[in-house]
Structure 1
Amino acid sequence: MRLQRGHDLTAQERAEGKYPVMGSAGQNGTHNKSKASGPGVVVGRSGASVGRVHYVPVDYWPQKHVRLR
């Protein structure tokens, strides 16, 4: 299994769309582009949600505070 850091996405860059935006606590919005193909697993890598695991069945945008497979 390969884990890597997610991608930066500022509030100013975010455009509402069909792809879930995944942070360490789970989905925190949507965006009009994806950076990862589903299905996938994201794991919180910082803060109170470190180690929390989320399954994502569709294409999604993993934010910088998660590790993804």
Structure 2
Amino acid sequence: MAETVKKAKAPAKPRKSAAKAKTAPIELQPREVSHDEIAQRAKQIWAERGYRDGFAEQDWLEAEQQLKLAS
């Protein structure tokens, strides 16, 4: 008997979809924050904590992060 040879299919063409038409999500860019702004926010965090000592660095870093990510 004769053997049949299968032909390879051509790759599928990419479909046009609405997904490509959508814009990419907006990424938040950290904004520049002054030393005074961070100090003021850190002082507010310290007050919210009840003026307890021992958290100055943590308050500063939290204040800096909050202000940079604020829109």
Normalising by structure 1, we get a TM-score of: 0.21
RCO higher in structure (CA 8 A, sep ≥6): 1
Q: Which structure shows the higher helix fraction?
A: 2
The structure that has the greater radius of gyration is: 2
